[in-house]
Structures are given as C-alpha cells and as structure tokens.
Amino acid sequence: MQHARNISRQVALVILSVISLYPVWFMLSTALKTPQYYTLNPTGLPLHPTMSNFSDVFSQWPVLTWMRNSLVATGVSVLVSTVISIMAAFAIVFSRAVGRESLFRTNIALMAIPPVALLVPMYMLMVNAHLINQLPSVIIFYTGLLIPFSIFFFVNFFREIPVELVEAAYIDGAAHHRVLRRVILPISGASTVTLVIVNAIFVWNELLVALVFLQSNSARTLMAGLALYQGRYVTNEPLLMAAAFLSILPLAVLYVFGQRFFVRGLTAGMGK
C-alpha cells in the first residue's frame, strides 16, 4: 500500500514538472523556428533549428541595455530593502524600544496597500524630483514596495530564534551591530537567500511601474522594453519567444545557485 502511494506521488510530481516546464520548452522551441516554419507548424518540434532569432534580438533591439537596467534596478532595490528589513526586524524582535509593536502593526497595514494606489502620488513626486526616465525612480519605488513584506518575513523568522542566544551575546558585552552580524545573520542565511530570490523575481518581472516611470527607450527595463516592442513585431512570434527566453535566464541562474538555500528557507519565516 505504501509502495503504491509512493509511486502515485512520483507520477504526480512528474506530471506537475512537465506542466511547469512546458511553457519554457514552448518558448525555446518557438525561438528555434523561422517565422515561415512557425506559421506552418506553430506547436511542432523545430526540425530545422536556427539561432538567427537570438542574434536578431540583439541586433534589432537594445536588449543588452534593457537587461543592464533590469539588473541594476533589481540588484539595488533588493539589496537596500533586505538590509533595511533585517535591521528593522532585529530592532522589533530583540530591542526594548518603545513602540516597536506599533511599528510592526503599521508595517503589516502597509502590506495591504496595492501598488497601483501609490502610482499617481509617486509619479508626481518623481516629476518634482526630476527622476522620470531615470533608474532611481523605479529603484525607490521597488524598495518601498519590498520593505513591508521583508520586515514581516524576518520578524517571524527572528521570533523562532532562541532568545537565550541573543541574551548570552549581550551578557558577553556585544553591541547591537555585533549581535546582528555574529549571531543573527549566520542563522538567517537560508531565509535571507529565499527572500532575495522571491523579491528579485518580483522586481525583474514588474511591468506597470517600469512602463510609467521609464518612458525613454534607453531607460527601460527588459520587461517594459519587450512589452512595448511586442506590438511592433506581433507577427514575428519566434523573435518574441527568443527575447522572452533570454529574459528568464538571469532568474534561472539565480535560482540554480540559491536553490539549496531556497528549499530550506521557503517557509522558515512563516513558522508562526
């Protein structure tokens, strides 16, 4: 009976894996076809694969510029939000500051605000600051969007850490920054990597803010650029699929390098 259950679970995992990987396979197989062959056989195998679509993406579109902008926006916003969130969560959980619980409840309330509600006031703010069509505009917006959930995530994880560890460090005369660096951060490695991957996926795939704040071609992120160019090349699906496949490669590399931490820390901050 147990053996049959194990087989059923394995079959279910295989089916789910095939369903999850099919979109990636469809993008790659379409990108390896010529437009003429795709028109004749859109769902078939690429019997005569070609790499011309990938070279055309780089020659016809400023993909490298868009990818650089996405890497900068994603890297800076995720890094800044993670650092701020770790320090804020440490203060909420382990300090004796007055109002720390009120700060945490306010942070939870901020999570309920949809990003679209902030779009107009943030746009006016960036216009007054002369930051429209510049990467700092979206970096500031993304950082603000990531911080509430990141604080919530770290607070719930830090509350699982035995208080005795922190108290022992304080008894030994360690300052706050030393306790955070030497005691908390080594324990929080898996959770930090998990949060970084989740936030990086959100920022990399975000479209609405990038379309509104980055209107010049040289300032656009990768997703915003592909979304605007799609209308111009709507009949050339293999070219679009080649660009879409290239857009997921950085996230795939990030996940491959962080997967062993990601699996361990996926629910580490949600224990309570």
Q: Could you give the CA distance from residue 156 to residue 262 in angstroms, rounded to a whole number?
A: 17
Q: By three-state DSSP, how is residue 46 classified?
A: coil
Tokens, residue 177: 């920054």
Q: What is the pLDDT of residue 228?
A: 81
Cβ–Cβ < 8 Å for 16, 5:
no
Per-10-residue mean pLDDT of the chain, 272 residues long, equals: 70 82 88 88 84 89 92 96 94 85 89 89 93 94 95 90 82 80 84 90 93 90 85 73 89 78 51 42
Q: What is the pLDDT of residue 87?
A: 92
DSSP-derived letter for residue 113 is S
CA distances to 83, 172, 180 from 95, in Å: 17, 17, 11
Tokens, residue 200: 């990086």
DSSP-derived letter for residue 61 is S
Rg (C-alpha) for the chain, rounded Å, is 23
Domain borders along the chain are: 60-270
For 60-270, which CATH class?
Answer: mainly alpha
Tell if the pTM clears 0.75, that is, is over it.
yes
| DSSP string of 153-186, one letter each residue | HHHHHHTTS-HHHHHHHHHTT--HHHHIIIIIHH
Cβ–Cβ < 8 Å for 37, 261:
no
Quickly count: other Cβ atoms within 10 Å of residue 163's Cβ.
Answer: 11
- Which residue bears the tokens 């890094």? 79
Q: By three-state DSSP, how is residue 234 classified?
A: coil
Tokens, residue 67: 């990818």
Cβ–Cβ < 8 Å for 92, 104:
yes
Q: What is the pLDDT of residue 263?
A: 55
Tokens, residue 218: 């040289």
Q: What is the chain's length?
A: 272
Tokens, residue 50: 């070609």
Q: Could you give the CA distance from residue 208 to residue 194 in angstroms, rounded to a whole number?
A: 24
Q: What is the pLDDT of residue 271?
A: 44
AA identity, residue 86: I
